[in-house]
Amino acid sequence: MALVNEHFLKLPGSYLFSDIAKKINTFRITHPKQDVIRLGIGDVTQPLPQASIEAMHKAVDEMTQKETFRGYGPEQGYDFLIEAIIKNDYAPRGIQLGHTEVFVSDGAKSDTGNIGDILRHDNSIGVTDPIYPVYIDSNVMCGRAGILEEDGHWSNVTYLPCTSENDFIPQIPDKRIDIIYLCYPNNPTGTTLTKAQLKKWVDYALANDTLILFDAAYEAYIQDPEVPHSIYEIKGARKCAIEFRSFSKTAGFTGIRCGYTVVPKEVTAATLTGERVPLNKLWNRRQCTKFNGTSYITQRAAEAIYSPEGKEQIRQTIAYYMTNARIMKEGLEQAGFTVYGGVNAPYLWVKTPGGMSSWEFFDQLLYEAHVVGTPGVGFGPSGEGYLRLTAFGEREDCIEAMKRVKRFTI
Amino acid sequence: MALVNEHFLKLPGSYLFSDIAKKINTFRITHPKQDVIRLGIGDVTQPLPQASIEAMHKAVDEMTQKETFRGYGPEQGYDFLIEAIIKNDYAPRGIQLGHTEVFVSDGAKSDTGNIGDILRHDNSIGVTDPIYPVYIDSNVMCGRAGILEEDGHWSNVTYLPCTSENDFIPQIPDKRIDIIYLCYPNNPTGTTLTKAQLKKWVDYALANDTLILFDAAYEAYIQDPEVPHSIYEIKGARKCAIEFRSFSKTAGFTGIRCGYTVVPKEVTAATLTGERVPLNKLWNRRQCTKFNGTSYITQRAAEAIYSPEGKEQIRQTIAYYMTNARIMKEGLEQAGFTVYGGVNAPYLWVKTPGGMSSWEFFDQLLYEAHVVGTPGVGFGPSGEGYLRLTAFGEREDCIEAMKRVKRFTI
């Protein structure tokens, strides 16, 4: 008798984004003429950089001739892309990476979800709270998160609250945790850590033999030179951290799928008998067995963002989104809201007014300002009392949304 | 202290294909002027269908304008592709599938590797032997395969030998097995099952509450009308089988990555207390959590193979490979070899002459005929005494390889 993985059944039945979709549908049925501005979902809206477009046309044409046709590529990604990544994303920051330390993939969601394959099911995990739900859900699926307790916490997960009370700086735990997820710039709060703050985490990890899973998907949005783009800017991180990167928000690749994961040769984890095992070798084996590389055409598009033209094009698009963020932040503050993030990240984290719950504020914003955000509580217990807005919309929508928000608060 | 998944450490250190690469390198160093014909690896060599090329250029251009730009797509794939799959691959065979039963992915390797996520780690598994190594390796990684015994078998895996002794027809087990992997047309043997033979497996699965994981990646190569293309041609299969399909060999998509998996609504597995859980819902949850859809551009390329032009173009390419297969089969038989497969599949399964081992024959073929195959034993214990050749090469290479084989056997 085939048996299911019962850990899946522990996951709550409904999704944050499907609950939101239902509420929007209900609104639309009752208000058929009212247009709604959606600033909730974290998808980009601007076209791909022209350099990537040209690279993809060229790559498509290569597929028409057997002399230039590309079949299976390396599971780890093509050398041309790995070289461009090392040369442009790491070397200028003084980080030396070997070719076999970078694994190109179809995106950071896959990699942050699948990384658990190489780790024991009973490691304890720690997450900053609120967080990107994939970290928790993928751990629930393999039993690592434990069971869902009545207060909404998972029994084997240590939650590190990040709220306005601690300036969104997670406190270093007073106990050993096997695996810690950090995402900086943070989704959903849009906040960052300085080098000094991140160093405390690396020191904690080295002292406690903790593995840090560092999600840097939004690093391209960092404006402040004090904010590290990579955890490997911190000494010792090569021994304790795996870093995830994505082209989704850097270059608008949400629809064409590319990201990469760095697993330095020095990062190890232990067997029960204490033997140290390099995780690079295990991740390589995982990818070679259960993944077959990402599209050649997409990899050429990714390579192209590192050309001088590509760099300038993504700089402009990021500036566009960050101008959105500034307009929204200023608009919200003028309307009397307290807003976090939006300076080194494309996310704004808005404190709900008057002690409202996340969902109450969501409803009020939808019904009175016709603007859609994402309830903060959907990202974890410490997200209660906040709402996330993203800067990935159209400029005119952001401006119009701020007008509505101001009218609604008067 | 972060602990590794120790099941990974049970995997043998060396890979079949890296062992082959080493041997070829050694030969090249000692025979620098001798060209080698590689008929070992299962990658395609012919360009993509023109219909897919045109669709990709169009899709790339859509990415240049914000009005037509596509960001995140559905994790399950775009409706346009799912509709084309249902209408063309299933409806003409009398198989009705719902839209939510088809999950588009980045390939059958990912899906056959990841499907285990939704199943308990202690299900017993059965595989035809020899088989595609991903089935075994992905089960080793989660502990489901048990431990590697001295005779090369995994302790929790039931091997169903397929050799010339039983005409490559696996015997129905005399015990209950929770999960059975079937791949037809078969990789590596190139053999098939008739509807009557496959029906025995569906009947077994229904009687024993077994889940069949049916890999139909090579169905496009079937010539014989008696050979089923889908397991759902067999009554009752909707209750017990998940089917994997790939565009890799059908349309040359090995480099651009697309496949799909069918999980009918009726397929269930049990909890320990006997409750039935639909696997469709679990696979959907798995994909939504750990996958973010396959490239929009690739999905448009896949849709295009179902156009009248696309169908004709892939028909021609498949005919080209199957002509290769015929030339190789005839050449080998004229040279005195016994050859299986190659009629409804792009693989030829060659009996080693004179009781040679797979590796001995591999070496002899490399050093005396300068032709590379894949040792059958690399696909499992019952592959010993065979060698796999693929029909995916260039025509002139296949013809030249047969000339060399004939000379070498004289």
Pairing of strands A386-390, A347-351: antiparallel
The complex scores an ipTM of 0.97
pTM of the model: 0.97
The whole-angstrom separation of Cα B53 and Cα B158 is: 44
Question: What percent of chain B is modeled with pLDDT above 70?
Answer: 99
Q: Which one-letter amino acid corresponds to residue B278?
A: P
Written as six digits, the tokens of A346 are 């494309």
Instruction: Check CB contact under 8 Å for B63 and A43.
Output: no
Are A119 and A180 within 8 A, CB to CB? no
pLDDT at B15: 74
Mean pLDDT of A6-17: 86
Which chain A residue has its CA at the smallest distance from B58's CA? A57
Instruction: Check CB contact under 8 Å for A106 and B294.
Output: yes
Q: Which residue among B3, B47, B297 places its CB closest to the CB of A120?
A: B3
Neighbours of A12 (CB within 10 A): 10
pLDDT at B18: 81
Instruction: Check CB contact under 8 Å for A120 and B179.
Output: no
pLDDT at B410: 54
Mean pLDDT of A126-144: 96
Instruction: Check CB contact under 8 Å for A8 and B63.
Output: no
Q: Residue A342: pLDDT band by 50, 70, 90 thresholds?
A: very high
pLDDT at A284: 96
Average pLDDT, chain A: 96
In sequence order, what are the beta bridge partners of A126?
A158, A180
- Looking at CA atoms only, how far is residue B354 from chain A in angstroms? 34
Instruction: Check CB contact under 8 Å for A5 and B119.
Output: yes
Mean pLDDT of B131-150: 95
In sequence order, what are the beta bridge partners of B181?
B127, B213
Closest-CA residue to A59 (of B319, B48, B188): B48
pLDDT at A407: 84
Written as six digits, the tokens of A275 are 């033997």
Mean pLDDT of A165-190: 98
Express each pLDDT in B45-95 by its tens digit.
Answer: 999 999 999 999 999 999 999 999 999 999 999 999 999 999 999 999 999
Instruction: Check CB contact under 8 Å for B255 and A65.
Output: no
Mean pLDDT of A381-408: 95
Q: Which residue among B50, B290, B295 places its CB closest to the CB of A138?
A: B290
CB interface of B with A, residues 225-284, below 8 Å: 252, 254-257, 269-272, 277, 279, 282
Q: Is B15 on the interface with A (CB under 8 A)?
A: yes
* Residues of chain A found within 8 Å of residue B137, distances taken between Cβ atoms: 289
Express each pLDDT in B198-221 by its tens digit.
Answer: 999 999 999 999 999 999 999 999
Written as six digits, the tokens of A159 are 């939650």
* Residues of chain A found within 8 Å of residue B9, distances taken between Cβ atoms: 271, 277
Express each pLDDT in B91-114 by its tens digit.
Answer: 999 999 999 999 999 999 999 999
Q: Residue A410: pLDDT band by 50, 70, 90 thresholds?
A: low
**Cβ pairs bridging A and B (under 8 Å):** 263
CA contacts within 13 A on the Cβ side of A399: 5
pLDDT at A409: 67
- Looking at CA atoms only, how far is residue B86 from chain A in angstroms? 23
Q: Residue B41: pLDDT band by 50, 70, 90 thresholds?
A: confident
Express each pLDDT in A22-45 by its tens digit.
Answer: 999 999 999 999 999 999 878 999
Q: Is A394 on the interface with B (CB under 8 A)?
A: yes
CB within 8 A of A30, min separation 6: which ones?
none
Which chain A residue has its CA at the smallest distance from B267's CA? A2
Express each pLDDT in B316-361 by its tens digit.
Answer: 999 999 999 999 999 999 999 999 999 999 999 999 999 999 999 9
Instruction: Check CB contact under 8 Å for B257 and A294.
Output: yes
Enclosing H/E stretch for B28: helix B16-30
The whole-angstrom separation of Cα A321 and Cα A226 is: 21
Enclosing H/E stretch for B341: strand B339-341
Pairing of strands A211-215, A179-183: parallel
Instruction: Check CB contact under 8 Å for A9 and B277.
Output: yes
Q: Residue B152: pLDDT band by 50, 70, 90 thresholds?
A: confident
Q: Is B54 on the interface with A (CB under 8 A)?
A: no
The whole-angstrom separation of Cα A131 and Cα A223 is: 22
Mean pLDDT of A160-166: 98
Phi-psi region of B46 (alpha: psi -120 to 50; beta: other; left: phi over 0): beta
